[in-house]
Each structure stands twice: as C-alpha cells, then as structure tokens.
Amino acid sequence: MKLINLKQNSLKMPNDGLFVSSIVNCKWLYNNQHLENLILLDASVKTDMSSSEDYIPNSRRIDIKEKFSDINAEFPNTIPSQEQFQNEARQLGINNDSILVVYDDKGIYWSPRVWWLFKTFGFKNIAVLDGGLPEWKRLGYETPASFSVFSWKLGNFTAKYDASKMCYFDAILNLSNNDNVKILDARSKERFECLVPEPRKGLRSGTISNSVNLPYTNLLSGNCLKSKQDLTTIFDTFTIEEKLLTFSCGSGVTACILALAAEILDYKQITVYDGSWTEYGTLTK
C-alpha cells in the first residue's frame, strides 16, 4: 500500500494498513476510495423531510439512533450492549480487518459518536471524514441522489468492550469531585450558563458540578475541524496537565467531537459521559 503525504490534520496510512490519525480529509478519501477492505459509513440522521438524501458513493448507512443505541434505555443515544453492537456491525459487513471511514451530512456532528463507539468496542482502524458530506460536495466530488443497492457478506467483527472509554452516572458523581479530573461540557455557552432552556422538553437547565464549558463549535472552522495548532491553543487554556479528561454534552453525541480533538492532540486519558446532561439533569436536582 502506497504511503501518501497529506496536510496537517489528515490521515496517513502506512504499509501495515492502519490509520495513524483519527481524521482523514476528503481528498484522501477521493484518491483512496477503492482501497481493499475500506468501508464508508454514513452516520447522518435525517430529522425532517427536507433533509438532503445526497451521499458519498458506496456508503453504507449506519443507524446510530436505532440499531447502534439501546432504544429501550431511559435516555437517548444510550450505548448498546456489546452483543448488539457486534451483531449490527456484522450486518454492515464489517470485519476485524476492515478500514472504516465515517461521515455525516452536518460536517462533523454524528460521525465522531460512531467513531467513539467503535473504539469503545475495540475497533481501532476507523477515522472521521473531516468536513463530512458538505466538504465532499464543496470540492465537487460525486454525490448520487439516492442510495445505490449493493450487497455485502456478513462481517466477522468481534466486539470487546473497553470500560475506560465511557463513564456513567455513578462514576460522574465521583469524578466531579476529583481534583485529578477535568470535565468539559460541549454544549453552547448559552445552555451551559442556563441563559436559554434545554431543547429537550421537560429537561431542566444546569451543569455538572465542577465542569467547565468548551462548546464543540469552538473546535470547528466551517464544516471542518480546526488545525492541530489551533486545537492545542484551545485545550491549553484549561490547564489539563495529566488529568483525566471527561467529556459531556446534551446526550453523549457532541461530547465525542471533543474526544476526537483530544485524541488528535494525543491526550491519553479520555472518557465520554454517555448519559451526559440529559441523564444528569434528570437524576439530580
């Protein structure tokens, strides 16, 4: 496999076929879309009838709201069981040696959640497409108007849950009082400071004890993630040092954008609060 030189914040693939960064740009994908074992996942969530049905060729739609969440859980976007995740990944034809690139139609929004879930269940060879579908279209690359029908074999991916990637309500109560932990909330400043109501009906406004605000939008430049240098400057303002980084948001989705940036910056101790403010705000007063 040929080694390709890419700009900063892009993905390179050495001869062993393993990604050495968690993000890939659209030019790389365009030039390498026919790589053996490459599977492209569309994590877009269609919220209304006006949502675009455009997609990147040969994508497989990953249903993060239904098939890759525990729909019987009390709170939205709850992490599924290891068995469910493995079965659904296999249905998408994903193998242990697959190469995964995930994108969404918002740029960088849903895709980091899928990226983090795969890492949580032991799959490492996955990257987020920087800028997603909007960037792909901006560059003039092909976007068929409807999904092509093509088939694939059942995959052999074996999931192995990594408990260090996710934390839950009982843990967050302890972490919020630990001086060796920094909790960063990805919600907007207005929501974090309780200046506007929460978008989820009936959910109170508030913050997790001792958390600080880092809106996920601060990490973006247009549809793409900011440069590594800019991300470093942003994270350096929080005096993280050797602390455990815990990321929260509304329901565990945009927290994963913070996790993506932190991994690019090579932070080693990273966890996402799965229930985030929806759970915390419901179970506390």
Residues 132 and 218 in one domain: no
Residues 111 and 54 in one domain: yes
Residues 29 and 114 in one domain: yes
pLDDT tens readout for residues 7-28: 344 445 544 556 778 999 999 9
Q: In this structure, what CATH number is given to the domain that contains residue 40?
A: 3.40.250.10
pLDDT of residue 174: 93
Pairing between β-strand 224-225 and β-strand 220-221 as defined by DSSP bridges: antiparallel
The number of domains in the chain is 2
Helix (H) or strand (E) holding 167: strand 166-167
Residue 161 lies in a domain: no
Residues 134 and 239 in one domain: no
pLDDT tens readout for residues 136-147: 999 999 998 766
Residues 112 and 192 in one domain: no
Residue 192 lies in a domain: yes
Structure tokens that stand for 94 in this block: 């994903």
Residues 189 and 250 in one domain: yes
Residue 30 lies in a domain: yes
Domain boundary among 118, 138, 158: 138
Confidence of residue 2 (pLDDT cuts 50, 70, 90): very low
Residue 147 lies in a domain: no
pLDDT of residue 241: 86
pLDDT tens readout for residues 268-281: 999 999 999 999 99
Strand partners, 247: 184, 272
pTM of the full predicted structure?
0.92
Please pick, among 26, 167, 249, 256, the residue that the annotation labels catalytic: 249
Statement: residue 189 has pLDDT above 90: yes
Residues 180 and 126 in one domain: no
**Average pLDDT value for residue range 116-128:** 97
**Average pLDDT value for residue range 99-115:** 97
**Average pLDDT value for residue range 60-85:** 97
Question: Rounded CA gap, 82 and 88, in Å?
Answer: 10
Residue 59 sits in which domain range? 23-138
Q: In what order do the strands lie in the sheet with 244-248?
A: 166-167, 270-273, 244-248, 181-185, 212-213
pLDDT tens readout for residues 39-48: 999 999 976 5
Residues 175 and 269 in one domain: yes
Q: Is 167 tagged catalytic? A: no
The rounded percent of the chain whose pLDDT value lies above 70 is 89
240-267 b/e (C-beta count within 10 Å ≥ 16 → b): beebbbbbbbbbbbbbbbbbbbbbbeeb
